[in-house]
């Protein structure tokens, strides 16, 4: 009897992990839609990349450090997509219209000046693997 209970408990843990991963994956897809709405090629490319990364990580052992790190990474990507990515559209007058949504992080110049020097520039991280 104890063997059956252990198997059932193990199955429940696997089911919970699977549910958490699927929930996170759906949140990521929603975040790509929020960030890239109206830009179909970028939306499709970001979703394909997400799908490929999840499939590549499919064999990670449930509960392992690698799986935990992968989930934390995805949570960070979701936050960046929702709060920091803003699409712009070129208008006929040469200006750009930004598609700012309710989740976009808004800061003022004072907060931007405080962060100056504490954040790496694109040049510094170009070519880095995440």
What torsion do the CA atoms of 77, 81, 84, 90 make, to the nearest 10 degrees?
140
pTM above threshold 0.75:
no
pLDDT single digits (tens) 13-44: 555 778 888 999 999 999 999 999 888 999 99
Please give the pLDDT value at position 89: 82
> If you average pLDDT over each of 18-27, 56-65, 97-106, which comes out highest?
18-27
């Amino acid at each position: 009897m104890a063997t059956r209970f252990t198997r059932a408990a193990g199955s429940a843990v696997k089911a919970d992990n699977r549910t958490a991963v699927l929930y996170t994956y759906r949140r990521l897809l929603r975040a790509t839609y929020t960030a890239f709405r109206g830009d179909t090629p970028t939306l499709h490319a970001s979703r394909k990349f997400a799908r490929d990364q999840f499939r590549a990580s499919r064999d990670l052992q449930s509960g392992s450090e690698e799986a935990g790190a992968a989930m934390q990474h995805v949570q960070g990507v979701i936050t960046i997509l929702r709060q920091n990515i803003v699409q712009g559209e070129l208008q006929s007058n040469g200006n750009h219209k930004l598609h700012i949504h309710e989740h976009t992080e808004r800061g003022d110049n004072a907060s931007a000046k405080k962060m100056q020097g504490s954040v790496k520039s694109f040049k510094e991280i170009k070519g880095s693997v995440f």
